[in-house]
Structure 1
């Protein structure tokens, strides 16, 4: 597994919010809802220099909405959405999160073990998780990544 490091300033995600309290399969239901209503937020999406959508995020936070890691890595909030311009306002039925800036360790999500493998890598390298892990999908390549915050900016 290839692990990289980057810094990402605070950014906005507008999406469909749910919680682990919503039961099994809640994340897929959020994505189904977000994807089927994407036209409602498409115009708010941040674009790169070529006019492509900047990113699709599965942002996560603890229940306090402080962007701390999920409790026991299995209880928290999830926002299935798109990266938007900072001044964008969420339409009715959508939720806006402002994700703090962090330095991240990230890895392509190649299998279901990516999370545990990167958590082990952090420990093996004396690094600590300082916030909630986020899922990222690159619209241009279709590749999926997991972002692990290691230092708040």
Structure 2
């Protein structure tokens, strides 16, 4: 009898529901965990935050200090934050761009802006940076910090190609101020609008 531990090296091991032997081959019945992917059109929007630049493969080293600095000094921009209809901050963004700030995908290096959505006419105070992110059609998927890498990989290698989507810009991270449950949404731009 086979068991799941025989396949512990396989990335789909957590999806394996049944293993049986048939003609000397192990048959795996795989049931994919549901990844809910939404298609969203978002008009251009503005974010003010703390900006940094670094190597793409070293993001975990240089991005967290940007969030710490933005959080510690949020009072400096709190009056600029865009509010939703209920009076809550509209959105916290981990905005990304190429080093030339054309909002293209990261290559070897990239830029990251840890901040909040603001009104388009807001002016960034000294020490802060404002980006105006262009309008895109996005595929959007939720994840946690723990599932970030796996979800990102799934979208890039499976979902987008299988659904005939091509990434046409930098991926954005959205943190809902209302749903502070550790989830974030990844926005994959698939069409300029």
TM over 0.5: yes
Distance in 1 (CA, whole Å) between partners of 2:68 and 2:76 is: 14
Which of 104, 109, 113 is 2:143 aligned to? 109
Instruction: Report how far residue 21 of structure 1 moved.
Output: 4.4
Equivalent residue runs for 1:1-153 within 5 Å: 1-21=35-55, 25-71=61-107, 75-110=109-144, 111=147, 112-120=149-157, 121-142=159-180, 143-153=183-193
- Provide the rounded CA distance (Å) in 2 between the counterparts of 1:25 and 1:41: 25
Unaligned runs of 5+ in 2: 1-34
Q: Which runs of 4+ in 1 moved over 6 A?
A: none
Using the TM superposition, give the Cα deviation of residue 59 of structure 1 relative to its aligned residue in structure 2, in angstroms: 0.4
State how far apart, in whole Å, the 2-side matches of 1:6 and 1:135 are. Answer: 14
CA RMSD of aligned residues (A): 1.4
TM-score w.r.t. the length of structure 2 is: 0.75
Q: CA deviation at 1:30?
A: 0.1
| TM-score between the two structures when normalised by the length of structure 1 | 0.95
SS in 2 for 1:128: coil
* CA deviation after TM superposition for structure 1 residue 87, in Å: 0.3
* RCO comparison, higher one (Cα < 8 Å, 6+): 1
Which structure is larger by alpha-carbon Rg, 1 or 2? 2
Unmatched segments (≥5 aa) in structure 1: none
